Every structure is written in C-alpha cells, then in structure tokens.
C-alpha cells in the first residue's frame, strides 16, 4: 500500500503528520520518493528531476523540467548587499552558521516570499531559494578559501553550475571530469528527502506558523548542523582520520563506542528508523569505490571505514542494537575525493536536502495544516503554595 498508516486523531498534537512524499521501511531498508525507489532514482535520474518529483509529486516531462530550470536560472542573482553580511563573518565561521544566516537574510531582499498563500506565490518563493541557495553555499566555501565570489554559469546544468561556482579560479583554468559532477548529482539525490527527520520536522513546524519558506529552511539548516544529524558526515571523517593517526586500530575505537562512561559514539552508525542497512549507505559505499578508483585516488580512510564496518557487523554490541552504517558513514569519503573540504560536508547535505525540505513545507502549507503544537507528559511538581524568601 506504500505505507499509508492511519494515525489516531490526537496525532495533530504529537508532531507526527501524514505525508505523501517519502516512504521508509526501517525493517526492510526501503526508501522511496513519491513511490520511486531510491536505487532507481540514484541510478537513472538527475538531481533537478528528483527535486521536481519531490516538490510536485510527479517526474517532470522534458518541457516541465526545462521551464523549472529556466525559472530557477532567472532567479540566480543574489543581492550584492548580501555580500556585506557575508563580509561580517570571520573566515573561520562554520559554513553552516553562515548558510543559515544568509538564508534567513534572503527574506530582507525578497519580502514577497513571506506571505505566500497561493500556489503561484509558493512557486515563486521555491524557485528563488533553489536558485540562490547553491550560490550562498559556494560563497560560504569561497569566503573561507579567500576566493572572489562569483555567480557561476547559467548555461550549465544545475549541479555542474554549482560545482563551477565552488571551484572556479580567478585565473580561469577551471575544468571538471563529468565523473565528478555525476557523483555529486548522485550524492545530492541520496540526501534529497528522508521523511520526518529532525531537520525536516523543524522546517515543518516553523513553517506551520506561516513564518515563510526562507526562515523555515534556515531553522532546518541549524537542526541539520548537529553531529547527531547531518553534522555526522563531518564527524565521521574526523573520527576515521583520528583512527588513522592513532595507528588504524579500529577495535580500540569500537570498544570506546561501547563504554557507557564515554560519550564517544561511532559516528555514521545507527539510525532511529533503519534497524537494517540504510539503503543509501549501500549505494554510497559502492559509489565511493567507483569514484575513488575511476579518479585513481587511494584513500586509506576508506579502508579504515570498511574495516570498522566489517568489525561492527560481527560485534554483538552493534548487532544486538541493530547499529548499521547510515547515510553519513561513507559520504564524506566521496566528498573528499571530489575535492570538497570537510567543513563543507554538512552544507552539501543541506544542498541535497533542500528540495525535500521545500516539498515537505509546501505539502504542509497546501494541506492548510494547523500550527504545530506538540503536547507533553508533565512530570514536575504538583500544586504547592508560595513561600516567602525568609521561609525558604
């Protein structure tokens, strides 16, 4: 049935929701966007097609995709004054903090994007943020790298243009192997939506107060930043590097991850929903092998990751708790191979998740859902009388 479940009427107050966008089966390791399997989409579609599918519910015709892309290109200018806000950040600022701030700031330059009630007004806000977010992401990277900011080349595809905005050099000798942009496209598809995860729930609940799309997305970016969520892709590579520096003893780190006294967790392992393999992790692991070998890159960190995974799959602590590699375990290894610095890994997750956040926000608004208002189980003091300070 595609996983339609009936929630009890009280669900409106629990933060759960009904959605027709993404279906997960955590036991069977199934992930589908609008009914299409992630395996097929990762293999046969491109990122902009998948973005259209998630947001509007159907795979686009050639004409629809062309119009969608043209509408996005027409909005790819970011007001020059946004650069003044960017200038205010120290070079050391984490790009996720820069991105959430600049995404919020877009409201000031696009006030019509706030009160969007009609589908047309929503569409205009959607194409604006799909156009400007890649620019802001590239700017956040270039600011740290001390590079001049540019707007890329609208004659290119959506992902190709993003790559050029990131890596174009002032002396102009930019070129890219299509294996790189194909790998990037696949990674973005794999991150595009994932049901009611922490950051998507944040976008929906902030959006449910009709605060507007851009600030709802900014809230989602902040939620994604956490190392227990999207920030894990950066934490995984930092962990693998630490294991490598420490001599590559994966067993020592496995034991550490079991120590209840130690807050250390095996980053990239475990998932609230998947109690079987995360299907995305399987695809990314295969892609990591393909990308590194096709680019002739030997990365010892990939071997450490595989060693860690093998050990965990044979270790009762992990097997009993159904802890398998998740989407973040191998993604950073590919980003590295594509020349993306580690502090940009989570912004790449945000760029991939953007269409999913937008689709979920649009669904919530079109369904005219009430303002989110989760309830609680009160576990505090029962009633008691006030005591003057002398008597405390």
Which residues in this chain contact ligand SDX in the complex, by CB under 6 A?
A: 194, 197, 228-230, 232, 257, 265-273, 321, 323, 326-328
State the CB neighbour count (10 A cutoff) for residue 30: 16
Cβ contacts of 21 within 8 Å, gap of 6 or more:
33, 34, 54, 193, 195, 356, 359, 360, 363
Place of tokens 């062309």: 66
Q: What angle do CA 85, 227, 194 make, to 5 degrees?
A: 90
Residues 82 and 143: beta-carbon distance below 8 Å: no
Catalytic residues: 271, 328
Q: Which two tokens stand for residue 78?
A: 């970011």
How far apart CA 295 and CA 293 sit, in angstroms, is 5
How far apart CA 193 and CA 223 sit, in angstroms, is 15
How far apart CA 359 and CA 19 sit, in angstroms, is 10
Closest CA to 348 of 246, 233, 201, 251: 233
Nearer to ligand SDX, 75 or 326 (CB): 326
For 117, the 3-state DSSP assignment is coil
Cα atoms found within 13 Å of the Cα of residue 128, Cβ hemisphere only: 22
Nearer to ligand SDX, 192 or 302 (CB): 192
Cβ contacts of 145 within 8 Å, gap of 6 or more:
341
Nearer to ligand SDX, 298 or 320 (CB): 320
**How many residues does this entry show for the chain?**
392
Residue nearest to ligand SDX (CB): 270
How far apart CA 388 and CA 345 sit, in angstroms, is 54
| Edge-to-edge strands, sheet with 22-25 | 22-25, 30-33, 36-37
């Amino acid at each position: 049935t595609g996983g339609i479940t009936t929630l009890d009427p009280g669900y409106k107050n629990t933060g759960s929701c009904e959605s027709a966008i993404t279906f997960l089966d955590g036991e069977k390791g199934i992930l589908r966007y609008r009914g299409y399997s992630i395996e097929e989409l990762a293999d046969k579609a491109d990122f902009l097609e998948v973005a259209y599918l998630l947001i509007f519910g159907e795979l686009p015709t050639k004409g629809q995709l062309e119009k969608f892309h043209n509408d996005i290109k027409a909005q790819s200018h970011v007001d020059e004054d946004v650069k003044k806000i960017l200038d205010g950040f120290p070079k050391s600022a984490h790009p996720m903090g820069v991105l959430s701030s600049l995404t919020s700031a877009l409201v000031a330059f696009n006030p019509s994007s706030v009160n969007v009630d009609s589908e047309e007004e929503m569409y205009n806000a959607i194409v604006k943020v799909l156009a400007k977010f890649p620019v802001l992401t590239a700017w956040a990277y270039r600011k740290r790298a001390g590079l001049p900011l540019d707007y890329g080349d609208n004659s290119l595809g959506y992902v190709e243009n993003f790559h050029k905005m990131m890596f174009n050099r002032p002396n102009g000798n930019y070129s890219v192997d299509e294996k790189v942009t194909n790998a990037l496209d696949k990674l973005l598809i794999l991150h595009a939506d994932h049901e009611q995860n922490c950051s998507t729930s944040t976008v929906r609940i902030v959006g449910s107060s009709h605060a507007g799309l851009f600030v709802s997305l900014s809230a989602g970016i902040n939620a994604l930043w956490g190392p227990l969520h999207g920030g894990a892709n950066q934490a995984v590579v930092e962990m693998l590097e630490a294991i490598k520096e420490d001599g590559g003893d994966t067993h020592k780190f496995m034991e550490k991850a079991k120590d209840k006294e130690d807050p250390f967790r095996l980053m990239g392992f475990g998932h609230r929903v998947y109690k079987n393999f995360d299907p995305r992790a399987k695809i990314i692991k295969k892609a990591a092998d393909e990308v590194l070998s096709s680019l002739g890159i030997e990365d010892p960190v990939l071997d450490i990751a595989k060693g860690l995974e093998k050990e965990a799959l044979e270790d009762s602590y992990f097997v009993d708790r159904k802890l398998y590699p998740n989407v973040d375990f191998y993604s950073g290894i590919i980003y590295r191979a594509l020349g993306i610095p580690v502090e940009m890994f989570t912004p790449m997750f945000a760029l991939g998740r953007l269409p999913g956040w937008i689709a979920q926000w649009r669904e919530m608004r079109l369904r005219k859902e009430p303002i989110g208002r989760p309830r609680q189980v009160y576990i505090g003091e029962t009633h008691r009388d006030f005591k003057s300070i002398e008597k405390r």
